[in-house]
Amino acid sequence: MKKLLFTLLVIVALGAVAALTCPDKQAHKDALLSVVNESINSSLENENLGGLGSIVGSIGSGVAGAYLDNRLVIKDRFLCSVGEIQNLKGEVKKVSLGLFGHVFPLNKDDLREALGASK
C-alpha cells in the first residue's frame, strides 16, 4: 500500500511540475529560430559571399522570426505544449514539443518546408 501511495504521489508531483513549467510561445519561437539560424548559417557557409553573408543571415533570421510570429500556433496540452505551423500549402505541421521548461524541435525538415526553404 505504501509503494502504491508513494508512486501516485510521485506521478502527481511530476504532473504538477510539468504543468507549472510548460513553455510558452516565446520559448517555442526561440528554439525554432535557433534551428532556422543554424540552417541559414550552414547554407551560407557553402556559398562564398564574404562579408555579405552576415547581412544575408540576419535578414533571413528576421524574416523567419516575423513568419513564426504570424504562423506559429501553440497548443497547450496542460502537461506539455505543441508548436504547429501551417505551411504554404495549408497543411499543419507539428514542429516542436515543450515539456518541463524545454522546447524540443521535432522535425527540422518539416520546419524548413513550412518556412518555404529548400531541404
Percent of the chain with pLDDT over 70: 79
pLDDT given for residue 119 in this prediction: 47
Q: What is the pTM (predicted TM-score) of this model? A: 0.77
- C-alpha 41/C-alpha 98 separation (Å) is 25
Residue reference for cell 555579405: 52
Q: What is the mean pLDDT of residues 26-52?
A: 76
- C-alpha 37/C-alpha 57 separation (Å) is 8
What is the residue-averaged pLDDT of the chain? 82
pLDDT tens-digit profile of 46-103? 666 666 666 666 677 777 778 888 888 999 888 899 999 887 778 888 889 999 999 9
